[in-house]
């Protein structure tokens, strides 16, 4: 079941949706620039460079935080890639579960959203009950 932008004003919906493609491309480019800076060594702390244990521990905490942030950025980059693929196949803005349009306000808050708010809420209830 696909709804391919079937709102009463589908031209307006397509214009709104196109705006999100630009936002996602900018986010992707920024994440890639950050990754390149990290890979080139711009973001690097070496605990051996610190003379005392407190400085070394602080640096290790900083490195761990940077690692966690990089992992989150990789996850977001993957979600952006999938969202951009949905643009290519004409399904961006459609709920992957029910096929209905994802509300523009939800997309504005989370452009990588794959599910409408109702399906996302249902998914979260199921996840809470499983854990």
Model confidence over 72-86: pLDDT tens digits? 888 899 999 999 999
In CATH terms, the fold of domain 10-130 is: 1.20.120
Distance (Å) of CA 108 to CA 10, 16, 17, 20, 43: 17, 9, 10, 8, 31
Q: Global pTM?
A: 0.68
Please tell me the predicted confidence (pLDDT) of residue 65. 64
Please tell me the predicted confidence (pLDDT) of residue 107. 96
Please tell me the predicted confidence (pLDDT) of residue 126. 94
Q: What are the residue ranges in the chain where pLDDT is below 70?
A: 1-8, 39-68
């Amino acid at each position: 079941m696909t709804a391919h932008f079937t709102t009463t004003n589908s031209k307006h919906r397509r214009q709104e949706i196109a705006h999100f493609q630009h936002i996602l491309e900018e986010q992707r480019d920024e994440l890639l620039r950050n990754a390149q800076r990290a890979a080139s060594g711009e973001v690097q702390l070496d605990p051996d460079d610190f003379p005392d244990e407190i400085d070394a521990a602080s640096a290790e905490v900083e490195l761990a935080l940077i690692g966690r942030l990089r992992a989150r950025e990789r996850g977001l980059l993957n979600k952006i890639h999938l969202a951009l693929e949905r643009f290519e196949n004409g399904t961006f803005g459609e709920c992957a579960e029910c096929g209905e349009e994802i509300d523009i306000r939800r997309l504005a808050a989370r452009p990588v959203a794959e599910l409408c708010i109702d399906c996302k809420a249902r998914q979260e209830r199921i996840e809470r009950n499983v854990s």
